[in-house]
Amino acid sequence: MTASVYIRPVARLPDAAPPAPAAALALAGRKDLLFAAAELIVRTGGRVERRVVSAGELLQGAAGADAARILQRLQEPRPALAGLALDRPRIMGIVNVTPDSFSDGGRYLTADAAIAHALELEAEGADILDIGGESTRPGSEPIDIEAECRRVLPVIEGLAGRVRVPVSIDTRNGEVMRRAVEAGARIINDVSALGHDPMALAVAAASGLPVILMHAQGDPKTMQHNPTYEDVVLDVFDALGARVAACERAGIPRQRLIVDPGIGFGKTLAHNLALLGSLTIFQGLGCAVLLGASRKSFIGKLTGAQAGDRLPGSLAAALIGVAQGVQILRVHDVAATRQALAVWEGACGRGTGP
């Protein structure tokens, strides 16, 4: 039986510490994200073995060829995406042009309202604007492609050439992707990892654009009906790895891909927390990593807070992510996230002030 190997960097070295030892893992080529050790995980069938090893042991090749390949992907610098360097965390601002999104459904349903909100998010410091016209919250129903296009295309067209930051189209439908790219979208964000629509892979490949592959177990309508995993972190890693491989076969190079573990999409509270605590493992896929935890229901389950009152929990999740190398944060509250990042980067010796 074939064994699968995984590496989860742990024991992050403080930035204020003396010069780091040569034997340290630098996540995605970043010298401010050094790790002294890693959890080496081997899964053979239903058996999982875990042990913590020093970075030195791993770098000396003690864990074998499979681990060496993952180590290379863990440490390779991530190339720029849509003109954005990924040497620091980037903020993706959410613009839901929907009547029924879980947090802000109906607030930006008209094109004018959505464009105004997007411009406000850019002014607050968003690096990317993510435009979506179909709610994929738990229990949501799919909508007609023409209806989705009527919602998002005027917004993308209204922003193209007017904003300095790239616009992303949040859709799982290939025809919507195609038209959005023609309208000026520069990133494709698919909650089904290009698996919902048979034409999506070809459209994404032909676009030449970066693509965000999000993990979801099941369809939005039923995904929260008793989601189960053998090991949620390893299962999500394997599922995303399979989608990355499918993209490569379709002509989309790994360098153009971003992976998202899909917090809240077919996961229980325990599943979400396990993923949030193990985000470094996804750097082993050799792609940029996106975290979308903003205002999600797991925060409410932990605290009792309703969606509009989950900013403190959202900021905590964001900082947990950036401390583990997450390159993109998808958020509703751009200004607050930017402020939290400024404090985090300042404490890490990266901030320079306004």
Q: What average pLDDT score do residues 217-235 get?
A: 89
Structural domain ending residue among the three candidates 75, 105, 124: 75
pLDDT at site 64? 77
Tell me how far apart the 2 most distant CA atoms of the chain are, in Å.
58
Within a domain: residue 326?
yes
- Residues 99, 68, single domain; the answer is no
- Residues 18, 99, single domain; the answer is no
On the question of pLDDT at 349 being above 80, the answer is no
Number of domains in the chain: 2
3-state secondary structure (DSSP) of residue 274: helix
Active site residue 221: no
Mean pLDDT of the chain: 92
- Residues 24, 157, single domain; the answer is no
On the question of pLDDT at 351 being above 60, the answer is no
Quick: pLDDT tens for 149-203: 999 999 999 999 899 999 999 999 999 999 999 999 999 999 999 999 999 999 9
pLDDT at site 353? 47
Res. 106 pLDDT band, cuts 50 70 90 = low
Closest CA to 349 of 136, 31, 42: 31
Q: What is the 3-state secondary structure (H, E, C) of 112-181?
A: HHHHHHHHHHHHHCCCEEEEECCCCCCCCCCCCHHHHHHHHHHHHHHHCCCCCCCEEEECCCHHHHHHHH
Active site residue 296: yes
Within a domain: residue 44?
yes
Q: What average pLDDT score do residues 235-253 get?
A: 98
Quick: pLDDT tens for 249-276: 999 999 999 999 999 999 999 999 999 9
Nearest 5°: phi and psi at 19?
-50, 135
Return the C-alpha torsion angle 29, 347, 291, 47, nearest 10: 70
On the question of pLDDT at 122 being above 80, the answer is yes
Q: Which is it for the CA torsion 93, 96, 102, 105, positive or negative?
A: positive
Choice between 103 and 119, residue whose per-residue pLDDT is larger: 119
On the question of pLDDT at 103 being above 50, the answer is yes
Q: Do you know the residue count of the chain?
A: 354
pLDDT at site 271? 97
- Residues 209, 329, single domain; the answer is yes
Res. 347 pLDDT band, cuts 50 70 90 = confident
Within a domain: residue 101?
yes
Nearest 5°: phi and psi at 83?
85, 0
- Residues 182, 220, single domain; the answer is yes
- Residues 282, 229, single domain; the answer is yes
**Domain range for residue 21?**
3-75
Catalytic residue among 179, 256, 296, 310: 296
Res. 59 pLDDT band, cuts 50 70 90 = confident
Q: What average pLDDT score do residues 33-48 get?
A: 93
Quick: pLDDT tens for 265-306: 999 999 999 999 999 999 999 999 999 999 999 999 999 999
Quick: pLDDT tens for 136-147: 877 777 889 999
- Residues 302, 208, single domain; the answer is yes
* Residue 291 DSSP label: E
Choice between 214 and 61, residue whose per-residue pLDDT is larger: 214
Instruction: Please state, in angstroms and rounded to a whole number, the distance separating the CA atoms of residues 191 and 172.
Output: 6
Q: What average pLDDT score do residues 83-101 get?
A: 90
CATH code, 318: 3.20.20.20
Res. 225 pLDDT band, cuts 50 70 90 = confident
Q: Are 264 and 299 in contact (CB under 8 A)?
A: no
- Residues 152, 214, single domain; the answer is yes
On the question of pLDDT at 354 being above 50, the answer is no
- Residues 102, 36, single domain; the answer is no
pTM (2 decimals)?
0.94
pLDDT at site 332? 96
Structural domain ending residue among the three candidates 16, 47, 75: 75
Catalytic residue among 151, 256, 295, 330: 330
Closest CA to 294 of 325, 275, 277, 315: 315
Choice between 111 and 66, residue whose per-residue pLDDT is larger: 111
- Residues 65, 94, single domain; the answer is no
Nearest 5°: phi and psi at 56?
-60, -45
